[in-house]
Structures are given as C-alpha cells and as structure tokens.
C-alpha cells in the first residue's frame, strides 16, 4: 500500500511522508542518494524537502548539492516534473554561511529572488526571544511581494514558513490579507516529535484557526528516538551525531546527548514501543502522523532500510492506551529538546 496523500491546497496533493534530503551530498554519495530517492518514490512518496544551504553540516564545498542531486535523479530516472512536489528554503540571516551571497544580512527581496533564481525569529534549537540579537529587519510586505512575483512567474507554486513563531505566522497572515495578489501561507515547517512538542504551545492554535498545515520535521529527533545513541558503544560510528560530533553546532545545541532528562525520556518511549510490540521508530513516526494539524512528516534517512522502516510506520495505529502512556512520559519530561 502506497503512502497516503493529503490535500495541501485545491491543486496540491502531497504524501503524508516527506523525504528530507539534507544528507544527500554529505553523508550520502550520488549513487546512494539515487537509491534512497528510488525507494521513496516507489513507496509513493511524492514530496521532497530541501534547502539552498543543504547538505548539513553546511559548508562552502557542498552547498547546493542536495538540490543538485534531486535534479540529477529526476533527469536520470525521467521522472515527470508534475510527479514530484519539491519544497525548498531560502537561507536566512545567521552570520555564518558567508559563502551564500556573502552571508545574507536579511531576508530582503533581492536575497529571496536570488535564492529562487540561481523579521528575525529564534534560530534552530533556541526557545527564548532576545531582542539584542535581532538581525536587520525587512518589511514583510517586501518579502511577500518578492514571493508573489516568483509565484506569478511560475517558479514556485505555494509558499510556507519555517522555524516560525506564533507572532511571525500571524504577522505574515495579517499583512498578506490586505496586500493585493499576495500569496497565502499554506504551511509552516517546524520541529515536532516526542521530545519536542512546542508547536502545541501557541502555534497550533494559530494554524488551526488559519487553516495552515504543519510539515513536521525531525520526527525521529535526528535519530535519537531510535535509541541507538544510548546503546552500548554510543551507536554506529556513521550515525550523524557521532560522525559530525563537534562540527554540527545547530544539531548538538538542540539534541544534547549528555542531557540526563533527554536520555530518561527516550528510554521511557522505547519501553512503550516494546510493550506494544513496535519499533521505536514506528512509535515516533506514528505519533507525529496522528496530530490533526500535521499534513506530512519530514523524515531523513541515510540507508534504504531506515527509509523503509519509516514508510512502514504509516500502518501503525496508536490506541488510546498508547497515547495515554506517551502523554504520561511527556508530563514527566516535557520537551527536553527545544
């Protein structure tokens, strides 16, 4: 049975599992990337997620390679363009990636349009807003106007936000409502998993009332929910948190393996999975997919067997007993990964 579909817009249908491609070109070679994309497509996944900065950890030598590998795969496999829904993201200001347009100082029209052609929020893994760290502010009107031009020219179909706050979502919606011909926000891509349910604290209410779907990234919490990092030896040497230890500050800031609360929560979730005869991965993916506002779970995989395990999780049904036990663990260890 193929991965089920969901209607994001009247003319936009996507699979409920979205293959995140940020490992393509770094952890995965071109042939390996082709095999992963083949397996995802054969399983009925028509939704691919990328970003102009990918792969990660981001560096000058590999920037743009994930998008390139997707394009090379589509050409090599003769995949019709209308069979794939490709989501990608513009690099925002961070002060780090100087090789991307000199290090974007802001998300202004030039940066947006240049990213398509060739408002600060807390960055990845942060929970507190610090006004002292605000980057150059750009009018949302300017951003929406640039995106609207890209829609009108046929370069993109719809727009969404990523790593956004309730204030940011509502501000974009408020302005788009009075801007003539402004494209409407239809999705927000934020982290959501058993270890990070911050979406439910404010942003879920906005999305519910404004008919915005969540594209939940990191449903496996960067693989931590599999339990592999807390096994004997600390997990496989080629697992991302081991392979890039000390080089992946964004991931390590959120997923701190030395956090005792994090470890305790993961152990409890693994025990729930075992109690009900599930793999930890199946429990993690199924939990995300039952959320009424989640349109698609954006997952990553570096091996075909990992991808297939995620795809199989679409058949898992979480009972009320299972969700009650999950919520008890969440009450004990609320959001150990921000």
Do residues 132 and 170 make contact, with C-beta atoms less than 8 angstroms apart? no
The first and second tokens of residue 35, run together, are 């095999």
Question: Environment class of residue 216 by beta-carbon count within 10 Å: exposed (0-12), middle (13-18) or buried (19+)?
Answer: buried
**CA-to-CA separations, 79 to 85, 172, 300, in angstroms, rounded:** 12, 34, 21
Instruction: Report helix, strand or coil for 212.
Output: coil
Rounded CA-CA distance 73/286 in Å is: 29
Q: Which residues are catalytic?
A: 54
Q: In what order do the strands lie in the sheet with 213-217?
A: 85-87, 47-49, 17-20, 294-299, 213-217, 185-191, 159-162
User: Phi/psi class of residue 234: alpha, beta or left (left: φ > 0; alpha: ψ in -120 to 50)?
Assistant: left
Do residues 176 and 184 make contact, with C-beta atoms less than 8 angstroms apart? yes
């Amino acid at each position: 049975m193929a991965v089920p579909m969901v209607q994001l817009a009247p003319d936009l249908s996507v699979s409920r599992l979205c293959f995140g491609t940020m490992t393509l070109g770094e952890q995965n070679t071109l042939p390996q990337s082709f095999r992963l994309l083949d397996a995802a497509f054969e399983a009925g996944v028509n939704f691919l997620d990328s970003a102009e900065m990918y792969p990660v950890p981001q560096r000058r030598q590999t920037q743009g390679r994930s998008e390139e590998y997707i394009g090379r795969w589509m050409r090599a496999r003769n995949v019709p363009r209308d069979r794939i829904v490709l989501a990608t993201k513009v690099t925002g200001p961070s002060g780090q990636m100087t090789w991307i347009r000199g290090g974007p100082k802001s998300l202004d029209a030039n940066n947006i349009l240049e990213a398509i052609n060739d408002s600060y929020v807390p960055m990845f893994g942060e929970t507190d807003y610090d006004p002292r760290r605000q980057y150059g502010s750009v009018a949302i009107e300017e951003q929406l106007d640039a995106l609207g031009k890209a829609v009108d020219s046929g370069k993109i179909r719809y727009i969404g936000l990523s790593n956004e706050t309730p204030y940011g979502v509502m501000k974009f919606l408020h302005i788009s409502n009075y801007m003539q011909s402004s494209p409407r926000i239809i999705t927000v891509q934020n982290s959501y998993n058993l270890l990070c349910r911050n979406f439910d604290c404010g942003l879920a209410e906005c999305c519910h009332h404004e008919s915005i779907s969540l594209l939940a990234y990191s449903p496996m919490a960067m693989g931590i929910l599999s339990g592999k990092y807390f096994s004997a030896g600390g997990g496989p040497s080629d697992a991302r948190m081991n392979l890039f230890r000390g080089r992946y500050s964004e991931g390590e800031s959120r997923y701190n393996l030395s956090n005792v609360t994090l470890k305790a929560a993961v152990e409890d979730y693994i025990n729930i999975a075992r109690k009900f005869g599930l793999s930890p991965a199946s429990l993690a993916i199924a939990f995300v997919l039952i959320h009424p506002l989640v349109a698609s779970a954006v997952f990553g995989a570096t091996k075909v067997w990992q991808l297939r395990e995620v795809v199989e999780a679409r058949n898992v049904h979480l009972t009320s007993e299972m969700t009650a036990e999950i919520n008890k663990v969440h009450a004990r260890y609320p959001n150990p990964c921000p």
